[in-house]
Structure 1
Amino acid sequence: MKSMNEKVLPPVEGDPIAAIATPVGVGALSVVRMSGGGVFAIADKVFTKAHAPEVPIADSPGYTAHFGRLYDGDLMVDEVIVLVFRAPNSFTVENMVEITCHGGPVVTRHVLQLLLDNGCRLAQPGEFTRRAFINGRIDLLEAEAIGEMIHARSESAYRTAVNQMKGGLSGKLDTLRERLLTSCAMLELELDFSEEDVRFQSRDELTDQVERLQCEVGQLVDSYQHGRLLSEGVATAIIGRPNAGKSTLLNALLGEERAIVSHMPGTTRDYIEECFVYDKTMFRLTDTAGLREAVEEIEHEGIRRSYEKIAQADLILYLMDISAGDFAEEIAAIRTIAAQYPGTKMLVAANKTDRTASCEERMQMVGQETGCMVLGISALQQEGLDELKKAMGAMTENLDKLHDASVLVTSMRHYEALRNASDALQNARELIDREEETEFIAFELRSALDYVGEITGKVVSEEVLNVIFDRFCIGK
């Protein structure tokens, strides 16, 4: 990311835009921001300083604050503080004004409407950040990191977003791209001198370069598993037979009545997904439909979706009714699921321990028969939940941690682009080994170069930009 004081060429300023930059609601303060051509003149039309000297906003230095009042004609709107940011030393690299007013939806809307009435238009979602990208203030990956930081729901996700906003992954990708550019340039020179049959880089050197690029791209691809867990949470499927208490457990872990609880089996027809954080790790809990033979079409669809969530899970939390008499079917089901998903961690929670005096003996038997860790809980009485959370944390403690979080891939878009780049490099390597024509090798390396460029925005379409920035709030 470029320093705020780094001198760059002033942009061709866009039309003036305005938006509320703070969440809507009652609070002590709110911020309304403007960016683009003419924002200083608009501020001077509506703002009057409280004390002399009366220096217009248009003549004020950057990074200065002014206390005064906003007026709509003769009607005072609010007492405010106006902050001035002069191009190119602002977030958007345009002239910007930020107005801090009293909090509350009514006064904030009045301030925004005043700016719209005097020449601004309402900003589109993410338009401030989009202008920062277009004007070279940040690259596309750093822009996405800002959105990830805003939406982070755990400390790990927040830290990863901050590291990416600082440019760690961008720097890594820029280095890869420079090396790809060098290799492409050498091959392009060969094509220019094809009649002389000149090689500017030996095929052994090119093979070595492509192999090293493959290794580094492969490491980034492999980091996505960790990055996904940091940004999305540990996917945890709560499964079991009907009426085992899955919805009750979900509500107990969340601390709120999120799922409908009923003594009638088969209440949950579709999955419910919510998140909770334990010891800085976010768990994405999914309450699934009870696993049994479906008796109707809707229930059959719910069970099918349950198995989809099991297949996608990082942690399977099998909930069984330990007070029931016969465990043969439960044990068989646990064994089957463990065999189908051997790479997925699995934990058995023996629920309804408050209903039987022989739960320890039964739990020991289930553990011996299945080979799984078994913990006793009462979801209804909220007993044993701390031990359950600790066990969940212990089983996943290495899933969402990576030593170098600054070079971590967290986005599916980045992952797909890197996979495509890896495939192109593999194709180039095979072409080199077969001693194919230079133009075919050059094509694959150029493709890899474009895929890497898609991530940081060196190569990007309008459609991709729209998808990315539409996720932002209007004031960002």
Structure 2
Amino acid sequence: MLHSDSINDNICAISTPPGFGGIAVVRVSGPDAIQIVNTIFSKEISKAKGYSLHYGEIIKNNHDIDQVVVSIFKSPKSFTGEDVVEISCHGSTYIQQEILLLLIENGARIAKPGEFSQKAFFNGKMDLTQTEAIADLIHAKSKSAHDIALNQMKGGFANELSTLRTKLIELASLVELELDFSEEDVEFADRDQLQSLIETIIQNLEKLKQSFNYGNAIKNGVPVVILGRPNAGKSTLLNNLIDDDRALVSDIPGTTRDTIEESSIINGIEFKFIDTAGIRETKDKVEKMGVERTLSMVEKASILVYVYDASTTTLEEVELDLLAFQKVAIPKLIIANKIDLVNNVEFKQHLNISATNKQDTEKVKSKVLDLFSSLAENHEGVILTNARHLEAIQLSLADLSKVRDGLNNNASGEFIAMDIRQSLHHIGTITGEISSDELLGNIFANFCIGK
């Protein structure tokens, strides 16, 4: 966490991943960043223009450490809003450490996790939602996660919140204006107008809230639970979906006794396929624990894939199994497996496959993608992916519900205004307009050192 006595510190760090590589980037930021690098660089750059590149050597005690390219970004047109210098050197760990030591000897200190981004926040270059999006962008493992993070980093979520905040301020001003002239019995705000405005705000916040499960699945991988009776072919299906022999396969029922989770990218979306223990009554304690874990995994799933052995399981048994998950409000794919063992029989209401057939596995992938696409249709525009943002929106909605109830019951304007201000407070914590040292410390502690 940055304090007022360290906000102007000159900081440095390696911004590229640790270890050997073709090149590495050492970043410096602060009021003296250019001068510090100038003292260890073979060319004069103290008066160099911003957005300029300079080729030369890093020098220590009149000996060359490396040939480098120095990039200069001058305040305020830089990532942090301060003077920033990036040194692109060869990826030797020795070279990287030598450059860091030279920077420290000449007035910089090692940056804390996320401190470059934290400086950008304090210097007004971005709000908290945008800085958090940087971390999401760095950790994105699929195109869909990348797209959401990039949109948030560009200010998509911040703009949505700004619109909502403006409406809340408008609502608060109408109510508080009445309070200022309460002794004159003047009504500046029509209660119906206030009700309409509050309903619009609540609907917009509810839409953001409802998008979280979808956004969180995109960010961390869409959980797809594969379940069914023992020996239905679930593990074979998992292995073919991820193109790896990850799950043990045998003809013995109950082979899988614990959940096995593996990821696969399908059309730019990361899916987490979860193989589970076969569902059946059993006296085996270990297998029973596996069945209980299977049922608990269903609650966390975004998509349910039920697999049954078409050669041994009747449709009545299938329907009986599915009754247990009838109240689970997520898309479901019902698969009739081992169809190659059934002569001239087709289960038209289900997807007919042989899990050992690669082409059939592609059909499963296509169906899973279609089911997820149906979820996406309900979540257009800004998507919520951060649990901190969700909590703030839930708190804001709770206060706005009090506002709505107060308007319906003709409550005192003072109480209504108080709840509106509290709702504004919660929205402000998302963007950082309202913040605390503890909040900022928790957010930036999760960043890498060089960012």
Q: Hey, what does 1:459 align to over in structure 2?
A: 434
Contact 1:139 1:457 in 2 (8 A): yes
| Distance change in 2, residues 1:36/1:393 (3 Å) | same
| Distance change in 2, residues 1:226/1:245 (3 Å) | same
Q: Hey, what does 2:234 align to over in structure 1?
A: 246
Contact 1:349 1:377 in 2 (8 A): no
Q: Hey, what does 1:346 align to over in structure 2?
A: 332
| Distance change in 2, residues 1:295/1:420 (3 Å) | same
- The reply to whether residue 394 of structure 1 matches residue 381 of structure 2 is no
Q: Hey, what does 1:301 align to over in structure 2?
A: 289
Relative to structure 2, which stretch is displaced further, 203-212 or 447-456?
A: 203-212
Q: Hey, what does 1:446 align to over in structure 2?
A: 421
Query: How far is 1:110 from its partner?
Result: 3.6
Amino acid at match of 2:74: R
Matching residue within 257, 260, 270 for 1:272 = 260
| Distance change in 2, residues 1:116/1:263 (3 Å) | farther
3-state SS, counterpart of residue 235 of structure 2: helix
Percent identity between matched residues is: 39
Contact 2:7 2:119 in 1 (8 A): no
3-state SS, counterpart of residue 46 of structure 1: coil
Matching residue within 405, 426, 435 for 2:401 = 426
Matching residue within 116, 121, 146 for 1:128 = 116
CA offset digits 1:366-389 (Å, max 9, x no partner): x46xx5x2231234x645211221
Query: How far is 1:119 from its partner?
Result: 3.3
| Distance change in 2, residues 1:330/1:119 (3 Å) | farther
How far apart, CA to CA, are the structure 2 residues paired with 1:113 and 1:256?
45
Q: Hey, what does 2:103 align to over in structure 1?
A: 115
Query: How far is 1:438 from its partner?
Result: 1.3
Amino acid at match of 1:412: A
| Distance change in 2, residues 1:297/1:107 (3 Å) | farther
Matching residue within 334, 354, 359 for 1:377 = 354
How far apart, CA to CA, are the structure 1 residues paired with 2:253 and 2:46?
69
Q: Across the two proteins, how many residue pairs are aligned to each other?
A: 447
Query: How far is 1:25 from its partner?
Result: 4.3
Contact 1:229 1:400 in 2 (8 A): no
- The reply to whether residue 47 of structure 1 matches residue 35 of structure 2 is no
How far apart, CA to CA, are the structure 1 residues paired with 2:254 and 2:94?
47
| Distance change in 2, residues 1:24/1:400 (3 Å) | farther
Amino acid at match of 2:271: F
CA offset digits 1:139-160 (Å, max 9, x no partner): 1111122222222222222122
- The reply to whether residue 336 of structure 1 matches residue 323 of structure 2 is yes
| Distance change in 2, residues 1:402/1:468 (3 Å) | farther
- The reply to whether residue 152 of structure 1 matches residue 127 of structure 2 is no
| Distance change in 2, residues 1:13/1:228 (3 Å) | closer
* TM-score, normalised via structure 1 length: 0.85
Contact 1:141 1:456 in 2 (8 A): yes
1:28-43 alignment to 2 at 5 Å?
A: 28-43=22-37
How far apart, CA to CA, are the structure 1 residues paired with 2:450 and 2:129?
19
Q: Hey, what does 2:154 align to over in structure 1?
A: 166
How far apart, CA to CA, are the structure 2 residues paired with 1:430 and 1:349?
48
Amino acid at match of 1:291: I
| Distance change in 2, residues 1:142/1:266 (3 Å) | same
Relative to structure 2, which stretch is displaced further, 407-416 or 223-232?
A: 223-232
3-state SS, counterpart of residue 385 of structure 1: helix
CA offset digits 1:66-91 (Å, max 9, x no partner): 11111232442211011111221110
Matching residue within 6, 9, 12 for 1:18 = 12
Contact 1:227 1:400 in 2 (8 A): no
Unaligned ranges ≥5, structure 2: none
How far apart, CA to CA, are the structure 1 residues paired with 2:334 and 2:251?
21
Amino acid at match of 1:221: K
CA offset digits 1:203-236 (Å, max 9, x no partner): 2332232222223223323333443343233321
- The reply to whether residue 291 of structure 1 matches residue 296 of structure 2 is no
Contact 1:375 1:388 in 2 (8 A): no
1:60-209 alignment to 2 at 5 Å?
A: 60-209=48-197
How far apart, CA to CA, are the structure 2 residues paired with 1:35 and 1:76?
23
* TM-score, normalised via structure 2 length: 0.89
Contact 1:226 1:401 in 2 (8 A): no
Query: How far is 1:265 from its partner?
Result: 4.5
Unaligned ranges ≥5, structure 1: 1-10, 50-54
Q: Hey, what does 1:8 align to over in structure 2?
A: none
CA offset digits 1:210-264 (Å, max 9, x no partner): 2222232233233334433432333210112334443343232223344455665
